[in-house]
């Protein structure tokens, strides 16, 4: 397995830790556009020399045209795939990869894998996300989570873990639902279920609102009904689900919190990514 060579493109501090973990296990690793990595490659072309897999950022792109990079100039997705084809690098692993990007990759003969299509990654990634969300809420408030009225919007992987953590801290937890199945589970776990389409009738009850739904849920009409002392934490994929400008106009504290695992628990997050990277690589390059 030490025959693998990985090229890490961009990423945050958890990618630096991933770099170190792969190196320690004897893999060849290079990096580009990640200022956290010591002695990173300064030449874009060097990233591909001898590489078997490119590990791309989370999220991979915000506009389906450029790779999402914090620390260097824009790299066009089309140019990245072209360079991978030129250097015979066939596999790219990243996060939150759109269908449009996948179609482009297929035209270049690049196989694309999304971290979050792996259930283990998605679930385990939700743990530091939930913990980071609660930490952010506690830092922003002068009240305890214990005894507070909280609502979690969305009952997916992150919503489930977040609701459980809040309940464990002694909060009075409500969870939104849109179908009978979720409503049944919400009731079974002892939460108060609120139909998402009736949110406007109940939203004034809460001191903390946690959104996980990637849609414009907390719009102006909802914001108008939220108490001014409420804290809003938005965990949804970009562009989020909150009208932040209007919330600020109403003097409501609202926080958009992308990339929490990389900020609050980078070691745990990197361990999850490493396991996924190796599983994908072994399954796709069995000869090494």
Residue 288: per-residue pLDDT: 45
Is residue 98 located within the same domain as residue 134? no
Token output for 23? 């190196």
pLDDT tens digits, one per residue of 42-63: 688 889 988 999 999 999 998 9
Residue 185: per-residue pLDDT: 97
Is residue 92 located within the same domain as residue 22? yes
Confidence of residue 23 (pLDDT cuts 50, 70, 90): very high
**Omega cis (within 30) before 59:** yes
Bridge partner residues of 85 (DSSP): none
Is residue 100 located within the same domain as residue 145? no
Confidence of residue 40 (pLDDT cuts 50, 70, 90): low
Counting residues of the chain whose pLDDT is more than 90, the rounded percentage is 83
**What residue numbers bound the domain in which 131 lies?**
121-257
Is residue 72 located within the same domain as residue 110? yes
φ and ψ at 123, to 5 degrees?
Answer: -70, -50
Is residue 140 located within the same domain as residue 252? yes
Is residue 54 located within the same domain as residue 149? no
What's the mean pLDDT in 19-41?
A: 86
Cβ–Cβ < 8 Å for 114, 91: no
CA neighbor of 17 nearest in space, from 211, 215, 269: 269
For residues 8 and 41, give the distance between their C-alpha atoms in angstroms, rounded to a whole number: 10
Confidence of residue 1 (pLDDT cuts 50, 70, 90): very low
Residue 217: per-residue pLDDT: 95
For residues 170 and 149, give the distance between their C-alpha atoms in angstroms, rounded to a whole number: 10
Q: What is the domain count for the chain?
A: 2
pLDDT tens digits, one per residue of 63-116: 999 999 876 778 999 999 999 999 999 999 999 999 999 999 999 999 999 999
Is residue 129 located within the same domain as residue 249? yes
Residue 41: per-residue pLDDT: 62
Cβ–Cβ < 8 Å for 276, 118: yes
Residue 24: per-residue pLDDT: 94
Is residue 136 located within the same domain as residue 190? yes
Which CATH number belongs to the domain containing residue 158 in this structure? 3.40.50.720
pLDDT tens digits, one per residue of 183-226: 999 999 999 999 999 999 999 999 999 999 999 999 999 999 99
Is residue 100 located within the same domain as residue 128? no
pLDDT tens digits, one per residue of 228-276: 999 999 999 888 899 999 999 999 999 999 889 988 999 999 999 999 9
pLDDT tens digits, one per residue of 154-191: 999 999 999 999 999 999 999 999 999 999 999 999 99
Is residue 127 located within the same domain as residue 60? no
Cβ–Cβ < 8 Å for 152, 174: yes
CA 54 from chain centre, in angstroms, equals 19
Query: What are the C-alpha distances in Å from 14 to residues 8, 21, 43, 269?
Result: 11, 10, 22, 6
Is residue 171 located within the same domain as residue 280? no
pLDDT tens digits, one per residue of 110-131: 999 999 999 999 999 999 999 9
Is residue 135 located within the same domain as residue 236? yes
Cβ–Cβ < 8 Å for 222, 202: no
Residue 50: per-residue pLDDT: 82
SS (H, E, C) 154-191: CCCHHHHHHHHHHHHCCCEEEEEECCHHHHHHHHHCCC
């Amino acid at each position: 397995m030490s025959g693998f060579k990985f090229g890490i493109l961009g990423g945050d501090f958890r990618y630096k830790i991933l770099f170190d973990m792969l190196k320690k296990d004897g893999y060849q690793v290079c990096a580009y556009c990640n200022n956290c990595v010591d002695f990173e490659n300064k030449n874009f072309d060097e990233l591909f020399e001898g590489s078997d897999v490119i590990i791309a950022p989370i999220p991979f792109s915000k506009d389906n045209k450029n790779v999402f990079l914090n620390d260097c100039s824009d790299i066009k997705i089309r140019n990245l795939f072209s360079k991978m084809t030129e250097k015979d690098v066939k596999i790219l692993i990243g996060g939150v990869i759109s269908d449009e990007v996948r179609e482009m990759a297929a035209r270049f003969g690049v196989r694309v894998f999304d971290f979050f299509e792996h259930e283990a990654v998605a679930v385990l990634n939700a743990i530091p996300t939930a913990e980071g969300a609660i930490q952010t809420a506690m830092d922003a408030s002068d009240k305890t989570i214990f005894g507070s009225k909280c609502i979690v919007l969305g009952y997916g992987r992150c919503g489930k873990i977040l609701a459980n953590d809040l309940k464990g801290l002694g909060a009075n937890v409500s969870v939104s639902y849109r179908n009978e199945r979720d409503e049944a589970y919400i009731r079974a776990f002892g939460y108060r279920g609120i139909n998402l389409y009736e949110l406007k009738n109940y939203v004034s009850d809460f001191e903390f609102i946690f959104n996980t739904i990637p849609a414009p849920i907390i719009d102006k009409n909802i914001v108008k009904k939220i108490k001014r002392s409420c804290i809003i934490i938005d965990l949804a994929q970009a562009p989020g689900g909150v009208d932040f400008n209007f919330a600020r106009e109403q003097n409501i504290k609202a926080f958009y919190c992308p990339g929490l695992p990389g900020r609050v628990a980078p070691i745990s997050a990197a361990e999850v990514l490493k396991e996924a990277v190796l599983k994908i690589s072994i399954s796709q390059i069995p000869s090494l």
